[in-house]
């Protein structure tokens, strides 16, 4: 497959037909919506807009989500190939605030490099008990700040707890320890019907960087995915993460922005 073929497959399975067990999927003629009641958040994961109708559709989507019980915020995920070309600016004009762009990178597990196939050398433990997420959260708070909205609002804990409780086969949560201290944490989401699995959260506390923890965390999740017959891994990579994952065979596919609106 060419990278364009993989991107088309990604759009089909991860944006048009996403199969997250903890969200409700609603497809309209212009958008694909996700409702995540556990974190009181809605998402527009895909849109089919034109320059002529974009502003009207954006306003209608905001009104739709504001009418939903328990939903208090909306995320619109914009990819650099989405139409119209100025979609990001149009969202800003209607009050959305965007995060810096992530690089969406993909790895074909059929060509997984040898480094990711090697035995794991660090002390990495899988967390399966939803009441034992403290070390996962502690690493994320140390790296991203306790005031990060996903941490301060309890969304991260709620999301991981929901998955580990209601669909434990859909997720793998891991913590790496150094001298008994949590040093790195990450998780992987397995789609129920998708050939893609998503890597999330990969973060290493600053004092423990440069020891290969992040790469081993990539490896343990890649090996788990390969054992399950997953075809591709994706990651929404920050500039720091992108440099690491591209060394391990991931290819850049697109830039994406998370645009948020709260009410």
Looking at the structure, tell me whether residues 77 and 180 fall in a common domain. no
Q: Can you give the CATH number for the domain in which 155 is found?
A: 3.40.630.30
* Main-chain phi, psi angles of 34, to 5 degrees: -125, 135
- For residue 251, tell me if it sits in a domain: yes
Q: Are strands 171-178 and 181-190 parallel, antiparallel or unpaired?
A: antiparallel
- For residue 87, tell me if it sits in a domain: yes
Looking at the structure, tell me whether residues 248 and 150 fall in a common domain. yes
- For residue 247, tell me if it sits in a domain: yes
Looking at the structure, tell me whether residues 131 and 226 fall in a common domain. yes
For 226-247, what is the mean pLDDT?
Answer: 96
Among the candidates 101, 126, 144, a domain finishes at 101
Is the whole-model pTM more than 0.85?
yes
Count of the separate structural domains present in the chain: 2
Looking at the structure, tell me whether residues 119 and 83 fall in a common domain. no
Confidence of residue 38 (pLDDT cuts 50, 70, 90): confident
Looking at the structure, tell me whether residues 251 and 150 fall in a common domain. yes
Q: For residue range 109-139, what is the model confidence (pLDDT) as tens digits? A: 999 999 999 999 999 999 999 999 999 999 9
In this predicted structure, the answer to whether residue 22 has a pLDDT above a threshold of 80 is: no
Looking at the structure, tell me whether residues 128 and 241 fall in a common domain. yes
Mean pLDDT of the chain: 95
Looking at the structure, tell me whether residues 51 and 159 fall in a common domain. no
For 53-81, what is the mean pLDDT?
Answer: 96
Looking at the structure, tell me whether residues 26 and 151 fall in a common domain. no
Q: For residue range 144-199, what is the model confidence (pLDDT) as tens digits? A: 999 998 999 899 999 999 999 999 999 999 999 999 999 999 999 997 789 999 99
For 50-75, what is the mean pLDDT?
Answer: 96
pLDDT of residue 23: 82
pLDDT of residue 24: 87
- For residue 155, tell me if it sits in a domain: yes
Q: Which residues span the domain enclosing 127? A: 107-256
pLDDT of residue 145: 95
Looking at the structure, tell me whether residues 97 and 136 fall in a common domain. no
Q: What angle do CA 194, 18, 74 make, to 5 degrees?
A: 150
In this predicted structure, the answer to whether residue 37 has a pLDDT above a threshold of 80 is: no
Q: What angle do CA 118, 212, 256 make, to 5 degrees?
A: 95
Looking at the structure, tell me whether residues 27 and 143 fall in a common domain. no
Looking at the structure, tell me whether residues 240 and 144 fall in a common domain. yes
Distance, CA of 106 to CA of 91 (rounded, Å): 27
Distance, CA of 151 to CA of 149 (rounded, Å): 5
- Choice between 120 and 20, residue whose per-residue pLDDT is larger: 120
- Crossing angle of helices 155-166/134-144, nearest 10°? 150
For 226-231, what is the mean pLDDT?
Answer: 97
- For residue 261, tell me if it sits in a domain: no
Is residue 177 exposed (0-12), middle (13-18) or buried (19+ Cβ within 10 Å)? middle
Q: CB-based contacts of 110: which residues, under 8 Å, 6+ apart? A: 231
- For residue 188, tell me if it sits in a domain: yes
Among the candidates 48, 72, 101, a domain finishes at 101
In this predicted structure, the answer to whether residue 20 has a pLDDT above a threshold of 80 is: no
- For residue 165, tell me if it sits in a domain: yes
- For residue 262, tell me if it sits in a domain: no
Distance, CA of 180 to CA of 263 (rounded, Å): 42
Least confident of 15-24, 87-96, 137-146, 233-242: 15-24
Least confident of 12-26, 37-51, 144-158: 12-26
In this predicted structure, the answer to whether residue 95 has a pLDDT above a threshold of 80 is: yes
Confidence of residue 85 (pLDDT cuts 50, 70, 90): very high
Among the candidates 101, 132, 151, a domain finishes at 101
Q: How many CB atoms lie within 10 A of CB 126?
A: 12
Looking at the structure, tell me whether residues 112 and 56 fall in a common domain. no
């Amino acid at each position: 497959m060419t990278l364009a073929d993989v991107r088309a497959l990604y759009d089909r399975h991860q944006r048009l037909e996403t199969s997250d067990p903890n969200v409700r999927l609603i497809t309209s003629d212009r958008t694909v919506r996700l409702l995540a009641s556990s974190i009181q958040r809605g998402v527009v994961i895909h849109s089919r807009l034109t320059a002529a109708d974009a502003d009207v559709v954006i306003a209608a989507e905001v009104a739709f989500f504001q009418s939903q019980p328990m939903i208090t915020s909306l995320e619109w995920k914009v990819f650099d190939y989405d139409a119209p070309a100025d979609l990001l600016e149009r969202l800003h004009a209607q009050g959305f605030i965007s995060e810096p762009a992530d690089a969406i990178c993909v790895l074909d597990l059929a060509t997984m490099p040898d480094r990711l196939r090697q035995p794991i050398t660090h002390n990495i433990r899988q967390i399966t008990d939803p009441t034992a997420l403290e070390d996962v959260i502690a690493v994320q708070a140390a790296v991203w700040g306790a005031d990060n909205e996903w941490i301060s609002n309890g969304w991260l804990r709620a999301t991981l707890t929901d998955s580990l409780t209601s669909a434990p086969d859909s997720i793998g949560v891991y913590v790496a320890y150094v001298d008994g201290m949590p040093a790195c944490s990450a998780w992987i989401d397995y789609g129920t019907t998708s050939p893609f699995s998503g890597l999330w959260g990969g973060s290493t506390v600053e004092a423990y960087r440069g020891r290969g923890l992040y790469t081993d965390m990539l490896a343990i999740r890649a090996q788990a995915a390969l054992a399950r017959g997953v075809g591709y891994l994706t990651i929404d990579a920050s500039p720091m993460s992108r440099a690491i994952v591209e060394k391990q065979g991931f290819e850049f596919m697109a830039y994406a922005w998370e645009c948020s609106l709260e009410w």
